[in-house]
Amino acid sequence: SQQGEEDPQALSIQEGENATMNCSYKTSINNLQWYRQNSGRGLVHLILIRSNEREKHSGRLRVTLDTSKKSSSLLITASRAADTASYFCATDLNRDDKIIFGKGTRLHILP
């Protein structure tokens, strides 16, 4: 079974709205990462949050981490058409060097 599970599997919102995606994981971690994938391309790193951090910002992105609930959320504010992509969370498994991905959330921004 996979370490991370994103929720929802798919999300459609109007341009300008905020998009929130969630990730739950199973084991202890050193850090949690979020990636974006545009159709047919490789994944692009967005943000990394360490286990001793609770919140991190990068431009229009806001990531939170709750290690007690083993969950994280990615908030994209003021969405744009270019944000249409799949988003994945990734964690190290049992604080190991194995980086395990979830199944992703497909985000579609409607004009």
Q: In the chain, count H helices and then E strands.
A: 0, 11
Residue 57 or residue 95: which is nearer to other proteins going by CB?
A: 95
Q: Is 82 helix (H, G, I), strand (E, B) or coil?
A: helix
Residue 15 or residue 37: which is nearer to other proteins going by CB?
A: 37
The sheet carrying 5-7 orders its strands as 5-7, 19-24, 71-76, 61-66, 55-58
| Site residue total, other proteins (CB under 8 A) | 25
Residue 18 or residue 27: which is nearer to other proteins going by CB?
A: 27
Sequence-distant (≥ 6) Cβ neighbours of residue 52 within 8 angstroms: none
Q: Which of 32, 6, 29, 2 is nearest to 85 (CA)?
A: 6
| Site stretch for other proteins (CB under 8 A), options 10-18, 55-63, 71-79, 93-101 | 93-101
Half-sphere exposure of 90 (CA within 13 A, CB side): 19
Residue 79 or residue 104: which is nearer to other proteins going by CB?
A: 104
By CB under 8 A, the residues from 4 to 63 that bind other proteins are 30-31, 33, 35, 40-45, 48
- What is the smallest separation between the CB atom of 79 and other proteins, expressed in angstroms? 22
Write out the residues near other proteins by the rule CB under 8 A. 2, 30-31, 33, 35, 40-45, 48, 88, 90, 92, 95-104
